[in-house]
């Protein structure tokens, strides 16, 4: 079986009092991901600024093994071959 593009998704709830620390940790995660060749994005909910989504994506699952989004709500997704 060939390696497939892999996406990790985590949803987080962060109290407003912890937002600054959380955003700093996202910057650290982004640096770590870039070093491993992994794309990383974080999004804040439009109306509820305590809710966040994090995404880490790579060309294969092995690259993501070095990047851990530690959350009970983290899920792993594999790309569909659409060709």
pLDDT digits (tens, 9 = 90+) for 32-68: 999 999 999 999 999 999 999 999 999 988 888 777 7
pTM of the model: 0.84
Question: Residue 3's pLDDT is what?
Answer: 80
The domain total for the chain is 1
Tell me, yes or no, whether 78 lies in a domain: no
What is the 8-class DSSP label of residue 44? E
Question: Residue 20's pLDDT is what?
Answer: 96
Domain that includes residue 56, residue range: 6-71
Tell me, yes or no, whether 1 lies in a domain: no
Helix or strand holding residue 3 (H, E): none
Residue 73 pLDDT exceeds 80: no
Tell me, yes or no, whether 42 lies in a domain: yes
Query: Residue 42: helix, strand or coil by DSSP?
Result: strand
Tell me, yes or no, whether 50 lies in a domain: yes
Question: Residue 69's pLDDT is what?
Answer: 66
Tell me, yes or no, whether 33 lies in a domain: yes
What distance in Å separates the CA atoms of residue 53 and residue 11, rounded to the nearest whole number? 5
Residue 16 pLDDT exceeds 70: yes
């Amino acid at each position: 079986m060939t390696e497939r593009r892999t996406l990790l998704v985590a949803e987080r709830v962060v109290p407003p009092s912890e937002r600054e620390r959380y955003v700093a940790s996202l910057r650290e995660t982004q640096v770590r991901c870039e070093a491993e060749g992994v794309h990383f994005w974080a999004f804040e909910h439009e109306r509820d600024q305590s809710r966040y989504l994090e995404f880490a994506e790579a060309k294969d699952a092995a690259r993501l093994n070095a990047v851990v989004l530690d959350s009970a709500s983290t899920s792993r997704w594999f790309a569909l071959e659409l060709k």
